[in-house]
């Protein structure tokens, strides 16, 4: 009974985000795109991919947090999104565990 006592939980509420926030996010996305282009002209050695990916991650986070309203969602929705992230990190980290240790030879 307890979980159904309040039929309208928080995510059912409409959260109104002011246009200012959207414009600010859009502008920062454009600025970050410009940064990616600009940095591509500078050779950072091994950090080329690192910097490009870091900027891409920041941009994706902005989209998810503000445009997709994750910042204003209930904890259940946040957990759901985090589950996807967790699985992705598992895939990358455990695959990398193989790649990194492949050259170590036998134990």
Partner 1 sequence: MSSATIVNLPDPSTARIPKMNFLTRENGLLSWLLTGDHKRIATLYLISITFFFFIGGALAGLIRLELLTPQSDLMAADTYNKVFTMHGLIMIFLFLVPSVPATIGNFVIPMMVGAKDLALPKINLLSWYLYILAGGVMIYTMMVGGVDTGWTFTAPLSTHYLNTNVISAGLAVFIAGFSSIFTGLNFIVTIHKMRCPGMTWFRLPLFVWANYAASILMVLGTPVLAITLVLVILERTIHIGVFDPAYGGDPLLFQHLFWFYSHPAVYIMILPGMGVISEVISTFSRKRVFGYTAVAFSSVAIAVFGFFVWAHHMFIMGISNYAALVFSLLTMLVAVPSAIKIFNWAFTLYKGSITFETPMLYAIGFMGLFTIGGMTGIFLGATGTDIHLTETYFVVAHFHFVMVGGMLMAFLAGIHFWWPKWTGRMYPEKISQFAAVVTYIGFNLTFFPQFILGMLGMPRRYAAYPPQFQVLNVFSTAGATVLGVGYLLPVLYLTWSLRYGAIAGSNPWQATGLEWQTQSPPLTENFTEIPIMDHEAYDYEWLERQQAKEVASV
Q: Can you tell me which of 33, 48, 76, 82 binds partner 1, judged by CB under 8 A?
A: 76
Residues 71/80/57/64 CA torsion (nearest 10 deg): -40
For partner 1, the closer of residues 43 and 98 by Cβ is 98
H-helix segments, 1-107: 19-39, 47-62, 75-101
Instruction: Confirm if 5 and 17 have CB atoms less than 8 A apart.
Output: no
For partner 1, the closer of residues 1 and 37 by Cβ is 1
Binding of partner 1 at residue 33 (CB under 8 A)?
Answer: no
Binding interface with partner 1 (CB under 8 A): 1-4, 76, 83-84, 87, 90-91, 94-95, 97-107
């Amino acid at each position: 009974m307890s979980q159904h006592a309040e039929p309208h939980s928080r995510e059912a509420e409409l959260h109104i985000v002011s246009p200012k926030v959207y414009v600010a996010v859009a502008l920062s996305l454009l600025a970050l795109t410009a940064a990616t282009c600009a940095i591509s002209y500078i050779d950072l050695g091994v950090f080329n991919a690192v910097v490009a990916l870091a900027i891409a991650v920041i941009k994706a986070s902005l989209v998810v947090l503000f445009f997709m309203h994750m910042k204003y969602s209930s904890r259940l929705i946040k957990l759901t999104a985090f589950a996807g992230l967790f699985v992705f990190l598992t895939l990358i980290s455990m695959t990398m565990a193989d790649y990194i240790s492949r050259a170590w030879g036998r134990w």
